[in-house]
Structure 1
Amino acid sequence: MVHFDNPKDRPVYIISVAAELVGMHPQTLRQYERAGLVHPYRMPGRGEGKGGKERETRLYSEHDIEQLRYIKRLTQELKVNLEGVKQIALLKEELDLRQRELDKQKQKMQQEIQRLRSKIGQLEVQIEEEV
Structure 2
Amino acid sequence: MEDELTISFEAASDAKVLIISVAARMAGMHPQTLRQYDRLGLVQAGRAAGGGRRYSVRDVVLLREVQRLSQDDGVNLAGIKRIIGLEQLVGDLQQQVAELQAELAAAYQRIAELESVGPYRRADLVPTSRTSTALVVWRPQRGDRGGRPATG
Give the shorter-chain TM-score range.
0.7 to 0.9
Tell me what 1:67 maps to.
62
2:111 is aligned, of 104, 112, 116, to: 116
- 1:44 is paired with a residue of what secondary structure? coil
- 2:47 is paired with a residue of what secondary structure? strand
- How far does residue 26 in structure 1 lie from its aligned partner after superposition? 0.8
Tell me what 2:44 maps to.
39
Tell me what 1:29 maps to.
34
Mark the runs of 5 or more structure 1 residues left unpaired by the alignment.
Answer: 1-6, 46-55
Tell me what 2:52 maps to.
57
Tell me what 2:99 maps to.
104
Q: Give the distance between the partners of 1:99 and 1:107, measured in 2 at CA.
A: 12
Tell me what 1:14 maps to.
19
Tell me what 1:3 maps to.
none
Flag the structure with more relative contact order, 1 or 2, with Cα contacts below 8 A and sequence separation at least 6: 1
Q: Give the distance between the partners of 1:101 and 1:76, measured in 2 at CA.
A: 33
- 1:9 is paired with a residue of what secondary structure? coil
Tell me what 2:78 maps to.
83
- Give the paired residue count: 110
TM-score normalized with structure 1 length: 0.75
Structure with more of its chain in strand, by fraction: 1
Q: Give the distance between the partners of 2:40 and 2:19, measured in 1 at CA.
A: 19
Runs of 4 or more consecutive aligned structure 1 residues displaced over 3 Å after TM superposition: none
Structure with more of its chain in helix, by fraction: 1
Amino acid aligned to 2:35: R
Q: Give the distance between the partners of 2:116 and 2:61, measured in 1 at CA.
A: 48
- How far does residue 27 in structure 1 lie from its aligned partner after superposition? 0.9
- How far does residue 121 in structure 1 lie from its aligned partner after superposition? 2.5
Larger Cα-atom Rg: 2
Amino acid aligned to 2:43: V
